[in-house]
Amino acid sequence: MKDSIEIIETTKLVTEKPVVIIGIPDIGLVGSIATFHILDKLKLEEIAHLESDKFPPVIVVHDKRPKSPIRIYGNKDILILISEIPINSSLIPEISRSLIEWFKTKDVSLVMSLGGIAHPDRLEIKKPTVYGLGTDEETDEILKKNDINIFEEGLIVGPNGIIIRDCMKNGIPSLYLMTESHYRYPDPGAAASIIEIINKILNLNIDVRELLDKEEEIKIKARDLMKRTEQSMKEMQKIREKEIPMMYR
Amino acid sequence: MSRKRFLDIWEEFEDWAWSLRNRCLEPLCYIEDRGDHLLVSADLPFVEKENIEISLTEDLLEINARMKTSYRFNRLGVVQRGIKFESFHKILRLPSRVDTEKARARFRSGILEIELPKKIQKKSIEID
């Protein structure tokens, strides 16, 4: 019985201080849409998946084969974590701890979690703005160098917040990139904005045109995951991100 | 809309986000209570404003929207694979009675928003 969360490597990959990009279902499915697009464009291979008896009894089928819904793709420079199911809040701390231990074995140089910030006037916004939260001077410098608006005060609810906190505790430089997004509707436009920032940070050239051209198709395909994610966000009180924390100084 | 028809459609959509019989998808759709009014929104990709029909009673809202091009799940799923979906359909039971005469709707970037002022019956209370 696997009470703990295991990361099973299906391909032995030699990495060279890779950057990790995390796309877990959240507001507007921004992280999920962005990471699916990146791994498709970079043609990354599946290298590992997460397993635990605590996970819901769900497998996904792709290319005629059963797969774990939480998987890692990558090459020697970039590792991408995707999840095709929302992550239950009770599992977040354990998943985060397992990931951090695995990142240490891979000598990860930077972790970037991708997410959305619900914007009430998203329909009025043509080009969503991306905000960033760093965990140390090195990541602050990345934000500054790439003219990324800094998220200075607020609340973060859900897996992305816990993962960057655990990265910070373990001395792994980490960034949480958030973009203005629809709350309950899949938002490929917001995902495109965040990929453009990743292009700048990692000096990549991932084309986002297809993401924008296929916006309507993506929204139809992402409908069921968005519905499940909305239920999960309700359970973890995601709405609290709209609150302003009381200053302590 | 008759009660029976409403319940038939309600049952059909209860567990599924699509109907094979009617070749329609259920849109993502939410109701927000904004005090004096309800704001209903629905995500309707592949739809143009001219092809949306909204029917309203004091406590039920029905949205029918025809897609400009049908959509087929070529590889995804089993029973829905290969089926051409041509429209969206949703019936919502409203949490408050609304003033049907004052309802307004707009459609921007594939998202339909319907503002439904609540029917508020105010009664003055005398103080003893």
pLDDT of residue B29: 94
Answer whether B75 touches A (CB < 8 Å): no
**Comparing C-alpha atoms, which of A145, A102, A115, A89 is closest to residue A15?**
A102
Answer whether B16 touches A (CB < 8 Å): no
| Chain B stretch 78-107, residues whose beta carbon is closer than 8 A to a beta carbon of chain A | none
Residue A87's φ and ψ, nearest 5 degrees, are: -100, 120
Alpha-carbon dihedral A143, A72, B75, B20, rounded to 10 degrees: -80
**Comparing C-alpha atoms, which of A123, A137, A142 is closest to residue A19?**
A142
Rounded-to-integer distance, Cα A182 and Cα A120, Å = 8
Q: Are A92 and A156 in contact (CB under 8 A)?
A: no
HSE of B91, CA atoms in CB hemisphere, 13 A: 17
Per the prediction, chain A carries an average pLDDT of 92
Whether the pLDDT of residue B11 is over 80: the answer is: no
* Residue A20 placed within a domain: yes
Rounded-to-integer distance, Cα B33 and Cα B54, Å = 19
- C-alpha distance across the termini of chain A, in Å: 48
pLDDT of residue B16: 52
* Residue A32 placed within a domain: yes
* Residue A111 placed within a domain: yes
Of A56-60, A235-239, B20-24, B123-127, the range with the lowest mean pLDDT is B20-24
Cβ <8 Å between A186 and B17: no
Q: How many CB atoms lie within 10 A of CB A89?
A: 17
CATH topology of domain B3-117: Immunoglobulin-like (2.60.40)
CATH number for A143: 3.40.50.10900
Cβ <8 Å between B17 and A184: no
pLDDT of residue B6: 52
* Residue A7 placed within a domain: no
Answer whether A186 touches B (CB < 8 Å): yes
Instruction: Write the pLDDT tens digit of every residue in A161-186.
Output: 999 999 999 999 999 999 999 999 99
User: Which chain B residues have a beta carbon less than 8 Å from that of A186?
Assistant: 43
Whether the pLDDT of residue B61 is over 60: the answer is: yes
Instruction: Write the pLDDT tens digit of every residue in B65-115.
Output: 999 988 887 666 666 666 788 999 999 999 999 999 999 999 999 999 999
Q: What is the widest separation between alpha-carbon atoms in chain B?
A: 71
Q: What's the domain range around A166?
A: 16-237
pLDDT of residue B77: 62
Cβ <8 Å between A223 and B17: yes
Domain ranges, ordered by start, for chain B? 3-117
Cβ <8 Å between B45 and A221: no
Determine the distance in angstroms separating the CA of B45 from the nearest CA of chain A, rounded to an integer: 5
Determine the distance in angstroms separating the CA of B115 from the nearest CA of chain A, rounded to an integer: 15
Instruction: Write the pLDDT tens digit of every residue in A181-238.
Output: 999 999 999 999 999 999 999 999 999 999 999 999 999 999 989 999 998 888 877 7
Rounded-to-integer distance, Cα A23 and Cα A115, Å = 7
* Residue A5 placed within a domain: no
Provide the domain count of chain A: 1
Rounded-to-integer distance, Cα A56 and Cα A87, Å = 10
* Residue A10 placed within a domain: no
The DSSP output letter for B81 is: B
Cβ <8 Å between B28 and A226: yes
Answer whether A16 touches B (CB < 8 Å): no
pLDDT of residue A170: 96
pLDDT of residue B54: 97
